[in-house]
A and B are shown apart, each in its own frame.
Chain A
């Protein structure tokens, strides 16, 4: 898939994110939108997956450690055909499949239930270790928030992955600079993020997390890096693509009302049209 097509796909994904959250009347748009380009690349370009066989043994695995970005994952899975797009309109509704945070028991294509921060990364590490133990080729990807890495367990997992030289593991940090209580630098700074992962024996790549050339280059480099896991620190914009949500901390965990939903969709339509002109 070329860069333009990826951008158009991510634009479509962002519309699904906004639409499903508007339907749910609650949820987390900011961190879903910031992660949308990375998630698009993983599902459309990077990972060996098959919607017709979600549980195939040799598939690559993805653990959404920042589970609150579930709308981004759900949108990508639905667009890929893991389940019907109509399910997205039932997000967070009683008796329905799509839980507020990912549930592997309910949703095809979800490799691990997640949502309690800091825990998904350990599971991804376990999956990567498992492949090494039994000589399998699949790769494991996990996406963390930059606020999430304040959890100590993340660094337990990083120490273990570095120690075990898990070069089949890619940890991506969605570095959108904001967490619920404010900027990550103000609340309890996790910076310098890249240096921390380096210190834990990771191959570290810092990129613009919305630039598909940079994203592609980083994932290619990760495949080439032998003997150590890779951490991609993706510099992103929280709320990316929706004018009033960009870099606005109040959109971490709130859904747009009807009026703001219309504004958001207009923003994304406009972006989509601009991509058509490219």
Chain B
């Protein structure tokens, strides 16, 4: 069996910024002393004059990005999710969201797969925070192919966009000839008639694994990839409610306010169905290698399988 190609989506972010930089003179990239980690250093190498290191000052960075967007540039403001969405929340809300400015936020190192740096840097709350801001679009891509497409879609979209990327190298599985990214549209990766598992980000791949394990037990699980958490694809969710018996959601994020909550909002209004949320269960986690943490907190294929089985 050939080894699956693995790439961290932060790497996809850096690589696609370079491509956008070549295509568009108005692309500028901001960072807050994390260029080596967010991978904006790839852009910096080719376009040093268009890479603006703001130092360790994320609040100011968001404002500078706003000013750049008001004067003809398309800024990509980059930091860890903890600081981009967490520390600078109010700047993003008031200075970017309220005036609907064309600022793109590239948030890397999201979720527990940050690993060894531990709970202070494992942001499991960013989707919840960003969802509450009117005008904000939120994209959480599932692999390298989708992350690259997401960065391009963010550039094309006029208005603020929050992009969520990870530190961990993850399998590339969207490298199919017919792959197409459409902002706001969910993707059915596997048909199924018993239950539906809706996943986002790096959990999509793990969910496909879980679906294979469920199949062996005779459970036919539909798998939906929601890369755009806001605006969310209501149609694909409501269809799943009508065609399958139960909904599971899977995310590397708190079960409070993230994908699971967004799905529940749709389900409650449209087609009441039981939803079981798989994610970080209202707790801080711990330091450790990412793969071990995903296993321990039941966010790998095996863990998702076990949680689905236990809550059928």
Binding site for B on A (CB under 8 A): 57, 61, 103-105, 111-113, 115-116, 118-131, 133-134, 136, 152-153, 156-157, 159-160, 163
Contact = CB atoms under 8 A, between A and B. Distances in A.
Contact of A157 (B60, B72, B94): B60
Contacts of B69: 126
Task: Report, nearest first, the 8 A-B pairs whose CB atoms are least far apart.
Answer: A126-B67, A122-B63, A156-B60, A126-B64, A156-B57, A130-B71, A127-B67, A123-B67
A116 B64 contact: no
Given A126-B64, A126-B65, A153 B99 contact: no
B55 interface: yes
B50 A133 contact: yes
Q: Could you say which interface size class chain B belongs to? A: 20 to 34
Contacts of B52: 129
B152 interface: no
Given A122-B59, A122-B62, A160-B60, A105 B99 contact: yes
Nearest to A116: B94
B94 A121 contact: no
Of residues B62, B71, B73, B94, which shows the largest number of chain A Cβ atoms within 10 Å of its Cβ?
A: B71
A128 B71 CA distance: 9
Interface of B: 28, 49-50, 52, 54-55, 57, 59-73, 75, 90-91, 94-95, 98-100
Given A125-B63, A133-B28, 17 more contacts: A103-B99, A113-B98, A121-B63, A122-B64, A123-B63, A123-B66, A125-B60, A126-B64, A126-B65, A127-B70, A129-B52, A129-B68, A130-B68, A130-B71, A153-B57, A156-B60, A160-B55
Contacts of B98: 103, 113
A160 B57 contact: yes
A119 B99 contact: no
Given A129-B52, A130-B72, A153 B60 contact: yes
Given A127-B70, A134-B72, A160 B94 contact: no
Contacts of B62: 122
A160 B28 CA distance: 16
A123 B57 contact: no
Looking at chain A's contact residues, the main secondary structure is helix
A122 B66 contact: yes
Nearest to A164: B52
A241 B60 CA distance: 35
Contacts of B95: 113, 116, 119, 122-123
A82 to B, nearest CB: 17
B33 to A, nearest CB: 12
B49 A126 contact: no
A129 B66 CA distance: 11
